[in-house]
Amino acid sequence: MAIAMTPTWHAEQTPDAPAIVMSSSGETSTFAELEDRSVRLARGLQERGVVAGDHIAILMENNRKYLEVALAAQRSGLHYTAINRHLRPAEVQYVLDDCGAVALVASEQTTPVVASLDLSRLRVRIAADVDSHDSDFRLSARLSPVRALYPTSPPVESKFAPNRTWRPSGSLILGAKYWSASLSGSTR
């Protein structure tokens, strides 16, 4: 039995209800589709050695795939950092290095930026095909839908945002408690 009011719970209770509606395109994904895709990606990350407590970075547009990646990270007990796709390569590299990510999930549209990054510290790299609603993550398309359970601890999200010095700073969100810190090196 799923925890009440989670996407998994909604997928069990109302699988055909809209979970994501993209206002710009009208694209709609049901709770069952969201559940299936996020479980597949979560399983794919686990199979590649990304475990609870690890950190991933997401470099994508704000779209359905982004939400699926974020949910896959949350359900796996991963920390994640959303990297603004409008940042310059040096800024993306700074955030990627500073957040300690072991995996990067990037969209096809960010390929020019990703191509200029030093990804040698990453164990896992995932390209998300965001151009087609019918095409899932290249990594997860081959995976069987295996149910991943939500961790017992609340989901964790890390957010980086450029400040006045263009050195990204971050807020670590733990459930309902907010902890803010400059993540420029001395806080780890």
Rounded Cα gap, residues 156 and 153, in angstroms: 9
The pTM is what?
Answer: 0.72
Helix/strand/coil for 91: helix
Residue-range domain boundaries for the chain: 7-134+152-157
What pLDDT digit, counting tens, does each position of 133-161 carry? 433 344 433 333 333 333 434 444 454 55
7-134+152-157 placed in CATH 3.40.50.2000: no
Return d(Cα 100, Cα 15) in angstroms, integer: 36
Q: How confident is the model at residue 29 (pLDDT cuts 50, 70, 90)?
A: very high
Query: Is a pLDDT exceeding 80 seen at residue 185?
Result: no
Average pLDDT over residues 30-55: 91
**Max CA pair span of the chain:** 48
pLDDT band at 129 (very low <50, low <70, confident <90, very high): low
User: Taking the CA of residue 50 as centre, how many other CA atoms within 13 Å lie in the half-sphere pointing to its CB?
Assistant: 31
Q: Which residues contact 133 (CB under 8 A, 6 or more apart)?
A: 27, 64
Angle at the Cα of 46 (from 40 to 47), degrees rounded to 5?
85
Q: Which residues of 129-144 are buried (b: 16+ CB within 10 A; e: fewer)?
A: ebeeeeebbebbeebe
pLDDT tens digits for range 70-114: 999 998 999 999 999 999 999 999 999 999 999 999 988 898 999
Tokens of 102: 């072991």
Beta-strand runs (E) in 108-183: 124-128, 156-162, 168-174, 177-181
Please check whether residue 102 is in contact with residue 50, taking contact to mean a CB–CB distance below 8 angstroms. yes
Distance CA 113, CA 92 (A): 8
**Residue 123: pLDDT above 80?**
yes
pLDDT at 44: 86
pLDDT at position 166 over 80:
no
Look up residue 153 and give its two tokens. 């601890």
